[in-house]
Amino acid sequence: MTKPQKYRDISRFLRAAGWENTRTRGSHHIWQSEDRTQTLSIPVHGDSVKAGIVRQVQTAFPRTPDNWN
């Protein structure tokens, strides 16, 4: 079962995958791939990201850290 994660860990993973935080609007951080063809919106409330959003990141990236489950 997927667990909530700290935003810091998710942002570190996305940067390592070549993604960039292009803008922030309120509590939503918008990430885009290097070629700007894919976009992820990650709502951050406090310092954690809910399990459903973590699952969306896992779907987009099959090789996520094992401790996210």
Q: Stretch 39-47: mean pLDDT, rounded?
A: 93
User: Phi/psi class of residue 39: alpha, beta or left (left: φ > 0; alpha: ψ in -120 to 50)?
Assistant: beta
Residues 20, 4: Cα–Cα separation, whole Å: 21
User: Which residue range is the domain that position 11 belongs to?
Assistant: 5-61
Name the pTM for this structure.
Answer: 0.90
The per-residue pLDDT for 38 is 93
Total of domains in the chain:
1
The per-residue pLDDT for 49 is 95
Q: Judge whether 66 lies within some domain.
A: no
Q: Judge whether 67 lies within some domain.
A: no
Q: How confident is the model at residue 27 (pLDDT cuts 50, 70, 90)?
A: very high
Q: Judge whether 69 lies within some domain.
A: no
Cβ-Cβ contacts under 8 Å for 19 (sequence gap 6 or more): 31, 32, 33, 34, 40
Q: Is the dihedral of CA 18, 34, 11, 53 positive or negative?
A: negative
Q: Stretch 26-45: mean pLDDT, rounded?
A: 94
Residues 23, 55: Cα–Cα separation, whole Å: 22
The per-residue pLDDT for 69 is 87
CATH number at residue 17: 3.30.920.30
